[in-house]
Amino acid sequence: MGVDERTAIFEAQSAPSGVKRDRAYLVVLAGASVGEMYKVETEKTVIGRGQKANIRLLDDGISREHAQVVIEGSRVYLEDLGSTNGTFCNGIKVDRKELADGDKILVGSTTILKFTYHDNLDEIFQKQMYESALRDGLTKAFNKKYFTDRLESELTFAVRHSSALALVMFDIDHFKKVNDTYGHQAGDLVLSEISTLLTTTLRAEDVFARYGGEEFAVICRGIDTAQAHVVAERMRKAVEKHRFVHEGTNIPITISIGVAGLPDATVKDATDLVAHADKALYQSKHGGRNRVTMYRAG
Burial of residue 29 (number of CB atoms within 10 Å: 0-12, 13-18, 19+): middle
Classify residue 51 by its DSSP letter: T
Backbone angles phi, psi at 180, to 5 degrees: -70, -35
Is 214 considered catalytic here? yes
Please state, in angstroms and rounded to a whole number, the distance separating the CA atoms of residues 98 and 115.
11
Cβ-based neighbour number of residue 4 at 10 Å: 10
Query: Which of the residues 214, 215, 240, 247 is marked catalytic?
Result: 214
Classify residue 16 by its DSSP letter: P
What strand order describes the sheet that includes 96-98?
55-56, 44-48, 67-72, 75-80, 96-98
Contact 215, 131 (CB under 8 A): no
Closest to 234 in 3D by CA, of 197, 205, 191, 262: 197
Alpha carbon 102 to chain centroid distance? 25
- Residues paired with residue 40 on neighbouring β-strands, in sequence order: 24
Number of separate helices (H) and strands (E) present in the chain? 7, 18
Cβ-based neighbour number of residue 77 at 10 Å: 15
Active site residues: 214
